[in-house]
Structure 1
Amino acid sequence: MADPITSRARRGVTSTETQAQAPGRTLPRWHYLVALLAGAANTLSFAPTPHGGWLELAIFAFFFAWLTRTTGWKSAALTGGAFGFGNFVTGVWWLYVSMHDYGGMAAPLAGAALVLFSLYLALYPALAAGVWSFCAGHASNGKLNELPFSPTWHGAFAFASAWAVGEWLRGYVFTGFPWLASGYPQVDGPFAGFAPVVGVYGVGWMLALVAALIVQAWVRWREPVEANGNAGNAGNTRTARVMPPLVVALALIAAGLMLPWVAWTQPSNAALHVRLLQGNVKQEMKFEEAGMVAAINEYQQMITEKPADLIVTPETAIPVLIQQLPLPFSQAVGHFADTTGSAILFGALGGTVTPEGRITDFTNSLFGITPGSRDLYRYDKHHLVPFGEFVPWGFHWFVNLMNIPLGDFARGPAVQKPFMVHNQPVAVDICYEDIFGEEIARSIRESDTPAGVLVNSTNLAWFGDTIALDQHLQIARMRSLETGRPMLRATNTGTTAAIDAYGNVIARLAPYTVGSIDVMVQGTSGNTPYVTSGNNTVLAVSLFLLAFGFAFGPGIRRRNGNR
């Protein structure tokens, strides 16, 4: 592990010499290259890597140790930005596929757009690292601190808090893009148990804190000790310095491993027999007339193949307006629902008919058929995808470079009624929406009839056979952990899967195959702490600790002699 800046003082440079050198010290360019490579390596901790949470902990420990080599807030921010850029450009490269392969954008423009977007996303870890530098006493009011940096308790808490706030901002600003939040690999890591308590950002907070404490213990172990001629005393002193941060780090890991034994929710209502459909309709055919007819016929056959309590199709599986739904499809599916007792959720496009007969306010929707009822359930997507489902102001020129047949959609309400399957309320969301854990929690918390089962209907064919499919499944597993509810995913090309209330995948289909999953799913009731409070807990704690660091951090370091 890399030495922090204080290693210079330990190797014979006096405190006075160190203070004199620190303001003029610059880092070599390879320092930032190493940070970028560490960020790229961090992509490997996300799905499909098994048990990637442990790898992520090691990478974050290295990243924090590397930050301790920085000389002020500027170099810290550049280090954090380099780490973030390496992570994002390798972690969301599949956006190039949607822009170039399916959107028709020229390869150089698509590549440039990916790089620019990754640079934008890297601003948030850069901000987190810069804020940490101030709060850890590394810099004060934009100037270098006279004292060199060494990992400290308040520095560790400042790193965790700044990192969590930075990730929350990335998931909020400009409608948010929280993909690759650091908590996601922990669904198979040591901090998964914290998910129902503090959510994905709180899990990232725990990860960053433990990584910083490990580095703190390592640095304290390597620091020389004045033994006064007694080797035993030196060993005891070193152990006394190392044990507190190490014990806290191990205790948090142990808590994360034991918390999954806590039952935050309980089984509710009868288990449901569910069928999840995967039609594997090619994206380039989906909005051509021949492809639309083929897709409708395929899903009609798959829906009516055999009954289930609930049958779910992917997003826009029926790629037409609900007002233009072919009569043979609606008659066949309606008759099947009535005669077999099957409830059906299918994806299609919604719209509002004006008195003049025009259709406006197009929506990306899910429609539900209930046996014995002529009332059609409707869910309209609330959190829309920038550039895919709505065009941000001033960016129509960018969308015009692509051939994606989607425009500006209308938004549905933030909280919508669940779909009732027998006596089990089912909360639905569409594609991109399930990466926003706070919104899923809110739909449960503020509903008059809290859902016991979550359903995500999606189409990731825009991104080809890439890591995006596995990453999205990992995100869905985090939603199950946060809410204590099973999550059902019906996708066009993959990955269609059923996830239990503990985040375990109990059934899945291979990507790019045609088929269905038949599975029994037990709904739950009750609220996890995260459903009750959302992201408020981690934000309140983080902002308090950062304020404390700003106000008292440098003073604490001076009083403690830079310890």
Structure 2
Amino acid sequence: MPVTWRGGVLAALLGAAQTLALVHTTLWPLPLLTAAWLAGRLDRATPRGGFVLGLAYGTAWIAAAVWWLFISMHRYGGLAAPLAAAAVLALALALGLFLALAGAAYARWRHGRAADAVLFAALWLLAELGRGMLFTGFPWGASGYTQVDAPLAVLAPWLGVYGMGAALALAAAALARLVASRWRAWPLATGVALALGAAAAVGPAAFTRPAGEISVALLQTNISQDEKFAAERMPATLAWLATALAQAEAELVVAPETAVPLLPDQLEDAAPGYWQALEAQFAQPGRAALVGLPLGDYERGYRNAVAGLSAGPPYRYAKAHLVPFGEFIPTGFRWFTELMNIPLGDFDRGEARPPSFAVGAQRVAPNICYEDLFGEDLARRFADAATAPTLLANLSNIGWFGDSIAIPQHLNISRLRALEFERSMLRATNTGATAIIGPDGRVQALLTPHTRGVLTGRAQGREGLTPYAAWAARFGLWPLVLGALALAFATSRPWRRP
């Protein structure tokens, strides 16, 4: 069946609509319904029509999920509004191609049988893995994040966010076949429903065990991005940070990404002795801090980093998974980044498997902003159970994106990381969401976004490995890639009767 322009528009509207559940997680059934519509239409589409439907759905999905990139490029980067809008659309189109190819492949390989639901889920999974892995990956808005408060969340410590997305696609395809066949596909739909119901009824398994608690204080600096690097604001910025770090009564204090927005030599020129005074405050046992700042210099290169302050040895962590265009310049695109005014926009990468920061008996694994989209990267730190992190800490600056949906989206991303590893996640951010997330993925404490303050509480450390942490630490996402390829191959083959 050819795809009409009305069908393409409807596909785009539904693709955009499913992203509502990335923010409002109580709407978790919505992506199930929109994906079911897509699966039903692909059951009647030609390969060309499948490509168009997948491209419309996937492009609108990404555009609706990351439209706030326009704010960073236009308001803070100074890029002309038409160019900024075109850049967001171009990114969405490029990433939408993964689902377009999956749609075309499904329309070509389906056979009108129950196994088509598995084929749809396998191709959906391959599309999401491709988006998350190729060209350094851009997995923001992955469908599994819509299920952080849904029954499918029990799969997080087993299969991670991509496995949750594949299960969502399987359920959607089963629902589509049930409706299209006027309930003749009830065995398939019943099997999927029973499996999901059993998982929800049993609830999440506990793969880890408590390993003590520490008191924490998380700083929210609330500095507008257009003022963050302004020289006239720098004395007040540094003064508030120093006071908050000194007065916070906690075993671990965490300040957000680039809380100190100056390179070391710049800081020494602007505020002589400032860093040495911070180090002295945490030189006695019982108190420690993680502070975001750039390290290095313009001549030899610089890194988006975190400094650990404590009575122990000096600790430094540098961001390894950088944001394209924002933190590194892809080959051939320097002309584009030069159109914008973004300070510190070409960072060097840190090491892939950094050590944790020791705070008493706890091993804290910092990650910076965009890095907590990549559970497979964080999993590398769990290769040795004896030295695996007991706590995770995300230092972010979402100020680039104003008062937008990026804030609750990133909070839900961190919640899913907590579920995957059964580790508490501490979030210290510039404008929000600053939060303490428990190992069950629930928000235990939260500061109001776009306010300046300090969030205090206690965080539980955990030991032991979830299945996801164990296999992803060793093999990354390749088990999912190979499993999806095998299922796609098996279900795309025609049945031949002897």
Same fold (TM over 0.5): yes
Which of 275, 292, 296 lines up with 1:351 in the alignment? 296
Structure-1 residue corresponding to 2:4: 28
Question: Could you say what secondary structure the match of 2:218 adopts?
Answer: strand
CA distance in 2, matches of 1:390, 1:307: 37
* Partner residue, 1:333: 278
Q: Secondary structure at the match of 2:346?
A: coil
Distance 1:434 1:194 in 2: 18
Structure 1 residues 523 and 133, CA gap change in structure 2 (3 angstroms): same
* Alignment partner of 2:249 out of 271, 285, 307: 307
Q: TM-score, normalised by structure 2?
A: 0.95
- Residue 166 of structure 1 corresponds to 127
Using the alignment, how far apart are the partners of 1:527 and 1:185 within structure 2? Answer: 24
Q: Quote the offset at 1:516 in angstroms.
A: 1.1
Aligned-partner Cα distance in 1 for 2:340–2:202:
47
Distance 1:424 1:306 in 2: 19
Instruction: Report if the CA contact (8 A) 1:158-1:546 is conserved.
Output: yes
Q: Once the two structures are superposed, what CA deviation does each residue of 1:287-339 show, in whole Å capped at 9, x if it has no partner?
A: 12222322211111111113211000000000112354544433442333235
1:232-283 residue CA offsets vs partner (Å, 9 max, x unmatched): xxxxxxxxx4431122121232144245431011111x20101000010121
Match of 1:203 among 161, 164, 175: 164
* Match 2:495 to one of 531, 534, 555: 555
AA at the equivalent of 1:360: R
> Aligned with 2:308: secondary structure?
strand
Q: 1:446, CA displacement in angstroms?
A: 5.1
Partner SS, residue 140 of structure 2: coil
Shift of 1:540: 2.6
Q: Give the Å deviation of 1:63.
A: 1.9
CA distance in 2, matches of 1:408, 1:446: 32
Do the aligned partners of 2:65 and 2:140 also contact (CA within 8 Å) in 1? no
1:545 maps onto 2:490 in alignment: no
**Aligned counterpart, 1:227:** none
Q: Secondary structure at the match of 1:261?
A: coil
Query: Of 13, 30, 35, which aligns to 1:55?
Result: 30
1:252 aligns with one of 195, 203, 218: 195
Structure 2 residue corresponding to 1:419, chosen from 342, 357, 368? 357
Q: Is the 8 A contact 1:415 1:447 kept in 2?
A: no
Q: Secondary structure at the match of 1:274?
A: strand
Shift of 1:462: 0.4
Amino acid at match of 1:99: M
Does 527-536 or 456-465 show the bigger shift? 527-536
Root-mean-square deviation (CA), in Å? 1.8
Does residue 213 (structure 1) correspond to residue 174 (structure 2)? The answer is: yes
Residue in structure 1 matched with residue 81 of structure 2 by the alignment: 107
- Matching residue of 1:68: 43
State the identity as a percent. Answer: 40
CA distance in 2, matches of 1:470, 1:115: 22
Q: Residue 22 of structure 2 corresponds to which residue in structure 1?
A: 46
1:404 deviates by 0.8
- Is 2:475 the counterpart of 1:532? no
Which residue pairs with 1:355 in the alignment? none
Contact 1:313-1:346 within 8 A present in 2 as well? yes
* Separation of aligned partners in 1, 2:480 and 2:284: 49
Match of 1:518 among 456, 474, 494: 456
Q: What is the rounded CA distance, in whole Å, between the counterparts of 1:101 and 1:506 in structure 2? A: 33
User: Structure 1 stretches of 5 or more lacking a match?
Assistant: 1-24, 138-149, 223-240, 353-357
Alignment check: 8 A CA contact 2:99 2:127 kept: yes
The C-alpha deviation readout for 1:394-441, integer Å capped at 9, x for no partner, is 101101111111232111110001000001111111011000110011
Q: Distance in 2 between matches of 1:46 and 1:261?
A: 21
Q: CA deviation at 1:66?
A: 2.2
* Compared CA separation, residues 95 and 447, structure 1 to 2 (3 A): farther
Q: 1:105 to 1:256 in 2, by over 3 A?
A: farther
Contact map agreement 2:50 2:107 (CA 8 A) in 1: yes
The aligned amino acid for 1:207 is: L
Question: Which ranges of 4 or more aligned residues in structure 1 deviate by more than 6 Å?
Answer: none
Map of 2:52 onto structure 1: 78
- Which one-letter code corresponds to 1:45 in the other structure? A
Rounded Cα–Cα distance in structure 1 between residues aligned with 2:375 and 2:338: 32
Go from structure 1 to structure 2 and tell me whether the alpha carbon gap of 1:27 and 1:335 turns closer, same or farther (over 3 Å shift).
closer
CA contact (8 A) 1:279 1:299 kept: yes
Secondary structure at the counterpart of residue 171 of structure 1: helix
Name the SS of the counterpart of 1:555 in structure 2: coil
The structure with the largest alpha-carbon Rg is 1
**C-alpha displacement at 1:447, in angstroms?**
7.6
CA contact (8 A) 1:220 1:242 kept: yes
Contact 1:368 1:378 in 2 (8 A): yes
Q: Distance in 1 between matches of 2:202 and 2:416?
A: 15
CA contact (8 A) 1:102 1:283 kept: yes
In 1, are the aligned partners of 2:320 and 2:351 still within 8 Å (CA)? yes
Output one character per residue of 1:21-41: Cα deviation in whole Å (capped at 9) or x when no partner: xxxx53322111111111111
C-alpha distance in structure 2 between counterparts of 1:186 and 1:26, whole Å: 32
Q: 1:415–1:446: 8 Å Cα contact kept in structure 2?
A: no
Q: CA deviation at 1:215?
A: 1.7
Mark the CA change 1:310 to 1:260 in structure 2 (over 3 Å): closer, same or farther: farther
Q: State the secondary structure of the residue aligned to 1:338.
A: coil
Q: How does 1:140-289 map to 2 (within 5 A)?
A: 150=112, 152-221=113-182, 241-258=184-201, 260-268=203-211, 270-289=212-231
Unaligned 5+ runs, structure 2: none
Rounded Cα–Cα distance in structure 2 between residues aligned with 1:135 and 1:428: 44
Equivalent of 1:397 in 332, 335, 346: 335
CA distance in 1: counterparts of 2:151 and 2:29, whole angstroms: 7
Query: 1:296 aligned to 238, 243, 250, which one?
Result: 238
Deviation of 1:539 after TM superposition, in Å, equals 2.2
2:444 to 501, 506, 526: 506
**In terms of mean alpha carbon deviation, does 299-308 or 335-344 score higher?**
335-344
Q: Is the alpha carbon distance of 1:26 and 1:282 closer, same or farther for their aligned partners in structure 2, counting shifts above 3 Å?
A: closer
Opposite residue 274 of structure 1, the aligned amino acid is V
Select 1:322's aligned residue among 264, 268, 277: 264
Mean alpha-carbon deviation: is it higher for 84-93 or for 174-183?
A: 84-93
Deviates more, 1:438-447 or 1:480-489: 438-447
